[in-house]
Amino acid sequence: MQLTSNTGRGRAREGTRQAEKSDQTRRLILDAVIVCLADLGYTNTTMTVIAKTAGLSRGAMQYHFETMTDVLRATLGHIQQLRLVALRRTAAEAPRSEGGDGFSQRVEGLWRFLFDPVSVAFFEISVASRTDHDLAALMRQAHQSFWDEWVATALEAFPEWQGRQSDLELACGLAHTLLEGLALQQLTHQGSPVRGEVLKTYLIDRVREIFEHGAPGASRN
């Protein structure tokens, strides 16, 4: 099963005006799903609500996506593309050197990224995938793809980590796990902003430590 935003009913022949119009409508629907998921949550995101948000009739929406499962599969592919673009943009905006405030600015950029509607919608679909076998398979693929891109863009932003793949992956894994956990806590009204700031500072210190001394217990030549 491929992670793609083209899941749904058959599409018009590529390159035709009908195909272009169909693609525009599909994009309108998928963008509406993201808005609904981010603003209303997974439980309240229905075919009827999505159609209304997109400014379409229920019948027009079902022409492109017959079921809610079809919608979620296509939306996950669409979200994944948007998340990767946003991640690359975040990396491009980060300082290109280790001096100064490079680590802290990158952490803050990733933190803001996790509260973007696209990331919030991704969290909502993650919940749905817990009990949906097909979505779970797609979600595993999405997580792996995002992780690979996370490591690649981190190396691009901080070339000083060249040749230190295990150290870089440890730093990326720590940042991803801690920041995503904090974001989920705040989104579910469990987090304390003060505690969040303390933990982000702790994260920055640990990443600097990994950069300067390597992974704990690892030998350095």
Q: What is the 3-state secondary structure (H, E, C) of 39-94?
A: HHCCCCCCHHHHHHHHCCCHHHHHHHCCCHHHHHHHHHHHHHHHHHHHHHHHHHHC
Tokens representing 20 are 């272009």
Query: What pLDDT was estimated at residue 86?
Result: 85
* C-beta of residue 68 within 8 angstroms of C-beta of residue 46: yes
Identify the burial level of 73 via C-beta atoms within 10 angstroms of its C-beta, where 0-12 means exposed, 13-18 middle and 19 or more buried. Answer: buried
Characterize 76-104 residue by residue with b for buried, 16 or more Cβ atoms within 10 angstroms of its Cβ, and e for exposed.
Answer: bbbbbebbbebbeebbeebeeeeeeebbb
What is the predicted pLDDT for the residue at 205?
92
Residue by residue, pLDDT tens for the chain (221 residues) are 455 555 555 555 556 787 788 889 999 999 999 999 999 999 999 999 999 999 999 999 999 999 988 998 899 989 988 988 888 887 777 655 544 456 788 888 889 989 999 999 999 998 888 888 888 988 998 889 889 988 888 888 778 888 898 999 999 999 999 999 999 999 888 878 888 899 999 999 998 899 888 877 655 54
CATH superfamily of the 17-213 domain: Tetracycline Repressor, domain 2 (1.10.357.10)
- CA atoms of 97 and 100, how far apart (whole Å): 8
Cα–Cα dist 177/72, whole Å: 24
Model's pTM, two decimal places? 0.80
For residue 100, the model assigns a pLDDT of 46
Burial of 35 (0-12, 13-18, 19+ CB in 10 A): middle
Q: Provide the pLDDT for residue 150.
A: 85
